[in-house]
Amino acid sequence: MNTKWTYSNIWLRNMAMYLFLFIIFFTAQYFDATEVMTTQTIIDELVLVLTLIYAFIFFHNTVIVKPFLLNKKYQLFFLFSFLWWAFYIAVATKINLYRNDHDTLANQIGSVIVINFVGTGVYFIHVWIHQNVITTQKKLLNTEAELEVLKLQLNPHFLLNALNNLYGVALSNPQDTPNRILELAELLRYQIESTKKDYISIFEEVDFIKKYISYHQFKSNNLTVVQEYSGIFSRHKIPPLLFILLVENALKFSAQTEKAMVSLRLDLDGGDLIFSIENGCLPNSEKVEGTRMGLENLKRRLEVTAIKYKLDIESTNGNFKVVLYLWQLPITVL
C-alpha cells in the first residue's frame, strides 16, 4: 500500500497542519486594525513564532506523550514534560528579547499551558483518526485477502489434482481414501474459517503448514521438504494464512524441477519471528517468472496490521529464498 500521499504520512500530515495554521494566523494578523504591519513583517514573525511553537509541540507529542503518557508512565511523562516546557520558556524568552518583546514570566507560563493543552488535544484527535483509518484499511484489505484466498482454495487445478490422487488411492489403497478426504477437507475448512479472524495463534498456523505440506508430499512422490520449527508458538499470534503464499510459491516452482526440494525454517524468540523458505527452481533462462502478487499482498497485510517486518528475497540461478522477519508480535490472550 502506497502511503506517500495518505494521512499515514507523518510529514505530509504535519506540513498540511502547519500551512493551515499559518494561513489562519496570517489572515487574523493582516486584518488586525490595532497594529499596522507589512506583509513581509507578518510572514517573518509568523515563520519565527509558529515554527518554534509547532516544533516544540511536535517533539513533545512524539517523544514524550506517545511513549510515556499513552503507555501510562505518568511519572516520567510529567517529569519530561515539565523539563521540556521549561526549556521552551527559556528559548521563547531569548527570542522575545531579540524581537524586543518583553513578555512577563506569568504570560509565558500561561502561553505554555494553552499551547500544551491544545497541542496534546490535537494529538489525541490525530490518534483517534489514525486508528479509525487503520481499522477501515484493515477491513478492506482483509476482505480483499479473503477473496484472494478463496480463489486459491477453489483453484480448479489444485482440486483436480487432489481428486485425481484420491481416485488413484481409492483404486490402489481404498482403506486410505477416507483419511485423505478428511485431510483435504481440513485444509479447506481451516482456510475458510481462519480468514474470518484478524489474528490466529502461531501454533495453529504451523499445524496448518505441516498438514498442507504433508498433503502435497502425498500427491507427489518426488517432493522432499525439510522443516525446522523452534519456539513456543501458543503465546503469540499473527494474521491468518500469513506464510501459506510463500509455501505455495516454493512448492509450485520447486515442482518444475527434476528433483523438487524445499527447505523451511521458523524460529520464534519472544515476540520476534524469522520465517525462511528456500526452494530449487529452473535456471533463469528456463524459469517462468511469477507475478509476485502474493508477495505484494503479504506486504500490504503486514503494513495494515502495523506489524514491524522485513522481507528479504534472494534469487540465484536455480535457487530462490525468502526470509520474513517479524518483530513485536501481539500476545495471544489465553
At 183-224, the pLDDT tens digits run 888 888 888 788 778 789 999 999 999 998 988 887 677 889
At 104-113, the pLDDT tens digits run 778 778 878 8
Q: What value does the mean pLDDT of the chain take? A: 79
Residue 141 clears pLDDT 70, i.e. is over it:
no
**Range of weakest confidence among 70-84, 124-138, 202-216, 266-280:** 124-138
At 7-41, the pLDDT tens digits run 556 666 667 766 766 676 667 655 654 555 566 66
Report pLDDT for 237. Answer: 93
pLDDT band at 69 (very low <50, low <70, confident <90, very high): confident
- Reported as type and span, the H/E element at residue 135 is helix 105-153
CA distance 107 to 258: 81
**Range of weakest confidence among 18-32, 162-176, 259-273:** 18-32
* Lookup: cell for 138: 484493515
Residue 250's CB: how many other CB atoms inside 10 A?
Answer: 25
* Lookup: cell for 207: 499445524
Q: Which residues contact 183 (CB under 8 A, 6 or more apart)?
A: 211, 214, 215, 218
Dihedral angle computed from the Cα positions of residues 163, 168, 170 and 174, in that order, rounded to the nearest 10 degrees: -140
Residue 259 clears pLDDT 50, i.e. is over it:
yes
Arithmetic mean of pLDDT, 44-53: 70
Residue 292 clears pLDDT 70, i.e. is over it:
no
Q: pTM (2 decimals)?
A: 0.55
β-bridge partners, 55: none
Cβ-defined contacts of 8-14 (< 8 Å, 24+): 8/130, 8/133, 8/134, 13/126, 14/54, 14/58
Report pLDDT for 1. Answer: 46
CA distance 38 to 49: 17
Task: Give the CB-side neighbour count of residue 303, counting CA atoms within 13 A.
Answer: 16
Residue 77 clears pLDDT 80, i.e. is over it:
yes
Report pLDDT for 208. Answer: 92
CB-CB contact of 89 with 109 (8 Å): yes
Arithmetic mean of pLDDT, 247-254: 88
pLDDT band at 172 (very low <50, low <70, confident <90, very high): confident
Residue 44 clears pLDDT 90, i.e. is over it:
no
